[in-house]
Structure 1
Amino acid sequence: MGGTVEFKEALRTRLGVMHPSRQAVDKFLADHPHRVTKGIPELVALLKARGQEVFLVSGGFRQIIHPLAESLGIPLSHVFANSILFDHDGRYAGFDESEFTCRSGGKPAAIRHIKEKYGYEEVVMVGDGATDAEARTEGAASLFIGYGGVVVRPGVAAKADWYIMDIQQMIDVLKAAPPANAQ
């Protein structure tokens, strides 16, 4: 997390130590249901009502993120995350090294891909971590909104175009503004 090891190598090492099975991932999901930050369902619904697309770009794993995306009504095609690979018996077999987010600089690359694939000129990135902030500094996102409602990270706040502590702040601004070239 400190940036001293290339992200893909750190991911390879961590998963190699853990060797998560399909059964262990399923048990994790059953034992740890998603806790959605207050306001996120309303924000996603509001963005969709305005004709704006919502994507999830995460260094986490599709196996964990897909149920969350489905609960929020976000198409799985709009999820960019890592994939754990399993063999036919459900044993750990590596991870998909072609995913944008398995490498350093992956989130900006995913956003550039989204812009190209969907023809967007502007994308707003919202996040709470350093890799989220990279999306703005590397020129992929037009705007980076930092979120400190769970964990305040001063370095992220310093790189944010707008730093919020409550999702309701975004909801209020969106409700007050007319949709801009909704796509």
Structure 2
Amino acid sequence: MGGTVEFKEALRTRLGVMKPSHADVERFLAKHGHKVTPGIPELVATLRAREQEVFLVSGGFRQIIHPLAESLGIPLSHVFANTILFNADGSYAGFDESEFTCRSGGKPAAIRHIKDKYGYDGVVMVGDGATDLEARLEGAASLFIGYGGVVVRKNVADKADWYVMDIKQVTDVLNHK
């Protein structure tokens, strides 16, 4: 987290210590329902009503993020996240090292990929962390909206194009309220 170890190596080390099995992930999902930030379902619905595509770009894991994406109506093809790999018996086998988000600078790389694949001139990134902000600083996102409703990170707030404490602020602007 302090930037002294390359992200992919840190991920490899942490997962290697944890060695999560497929059953572990399933138990986690059963015990911990998704907690969606207030306003996100409305924002996604507003964007979709405007015929704008929504993508999830996360350093988290597909196995955990896919159910959330499905609940929000976001196609799984629009999810960019890490993938935990399992052996045939369900034991931990590693992670997919080809995922954009398994490496430092992965979120900007994912945004550039999205722009190239879908022919977008601009992409707006919304996020609360430094790796989200990277997408703007590295020229991938055209606009970065920082979000401080869960935790305020001064460096993110200072460098965001727009900083909001409530996602409803973004939805209201889209709806011209």
Bin the TM-score by the shorter chain. over 0.9
Map 1:108-147 → 2, pairs under 5 A: 108-147=108-147
Q: Which runs of 5+ in 1 are unaligned?
A: 178-183
Taking the aligned partners of 1:57 and 1:27, their CA distance within structure 2 comes to 24
For residue 154 of structure 1, report the CA deviation from its aligned partner.
0.2
Counterpart of 1:50? 50
For residue 55 of structure 1, report the CA deviation from its aligned partner.
0.1
For residue 2 of structure 1, report the CA deviation from its aligned partner.
1.1
Counterpart of 1:82? 82
TM-score, length-normalised on structure 1? 0.96
Taking the aligned partners of 2:153 and 2:21, their CA distance within structure 1 comes to 33
Counterpart of 1:181? none
Q: Which runs of 5+ in 2 are unaligned?
A: none
Counterpart of 1:18? 18
For residue 95 of structure 1, report the CA deviation from its aligned partner.
0.2
2:151 corresponds to which letter in structure 1?
Answer: V
1:124-177 CA-partner distances (Å, limit 9, x unpaired): 000000000000000000000000000000011111000000011001100018
Query: Do structure 1's residue 169 and structure 2's residue 165 form an aligned pair?
Result: no
Secondary structure of the corresponding residue to residue 141 of structure 1: coil
Counterpart of 1:180? none
Aligned residues: 177
For residue 30 of structure 1, report the CA deviation from its aligned partner.
0.5
Taking the aligned partners of 1:23 and 1:75, their CA distance within structure 2 comes to 25
**What percentage of aligned pairs have identical amino acids?**
82
1:62-90 CA-partner distances (Å, limit 9, x unpaired): 00000000000000000000000000000
Cα RMSD for the two superposed structures: 0.7
Taking the aligned partners of 2:16 and 2:140, their CA distance within structure 1 comes to 31
Taking the aligned partners of 1:89 and 1:18, their CA distance within structure 2 comes to 17
For residue 49 of structure 1, report the CA deviation from its aligned partner.
0.2
